[in-house]
Chains A and B, each alone.
Chain A
């Protein structure tokens, strides 16, 4: 069973604050991902990682940054939040390899910047 956790679930915060969205998984997956999802439904990949000390930018440009110091942990940070960062952020993980590698998702963090 998938075990991937995101905190907080909801965050309402003022402009200019530094924010860190947490994501942890207990499955030992090497690959981890961050997606941004707006009410228009489509998922946009903003960051991903192949393993410890690996971070890559995704298809959608984002002002956020990520780190991967431990396999199970992939936090996303916004140094200075702006209203344009208001969105839902989804974290996912998957196994490495060329076979069946479905992504397992957390329940997301809904972020509102005032």
Chain B
């Protein structure tokens, strides 16, 4: 299978921006996703980007996609303590019968 890599841990101060990075290997992926997992819960879809886009902004969230380097990032502006969670990126290959591949997860700690 394809590997989707993320750094394990990120610590930021409240009010600062957070940038969570992800590298993927399947250049044919059509959609790329960011999920958030709070303690004791399942994964919640935060946002997604289609592969023909370079950037997508949704309130405090900005997704950047560099297809050449197969690099995806999630920027959270004005990070709050409620943003503390584990963040997963995921890639969705084309075709109806391919499996989504999840990244290894990045734990974001927001310091008050």
Contacts and interface: CB of A to CB of B under 8 A. Distances in A.
Interface of A: 2, 6, 41-43, 45, 48, 50, 59, 90, 92, 94, 96-108, 110
Contacts of B40: 107-108, 110
Contacts of B33: 102
Interface residues of B, number: 28
Given A41-B104, A41-B105, A104 B97 contact: no
A18 B60 CA distance: 46
B96 interface: yes
Q: What is the interface of chain A mostly: helix, strand, loop, or mixed?
A: loop
A97 B102 CA distance: 19
Interface of B: 1, 8, 30-31, 33, 35, 40-45, 48, 50, 86, 88, 90, 92, 94-97, 99-100, 102, 104-105, 107
A42 B30 contact: no
B48 A102 contact: yes
Contact of B94 (A90, A98, A105): A98
Given A43-B88, A97-B96, A102 B45 contact: yes
B104 A104 contact: no
Contacts of A97: 96
A56 to B, nearest CB: 9
29 contacts: A6-B42, A41-B8, A41-B105, A42-B105, A43-B88, A43-B102, A45-B99, A48-B99, A50-B97, A59-B1, A94-B100, A96-B96, A98-B30, A98-B96, A99-B31, A100-B30, A100-B48, A100-B50, A101-B31, A102-B31, A102-B33, A103-B90, A103-B100, A105-B35, A105-B43, A105-B44, A107-B40, A107-B42, A108-B42
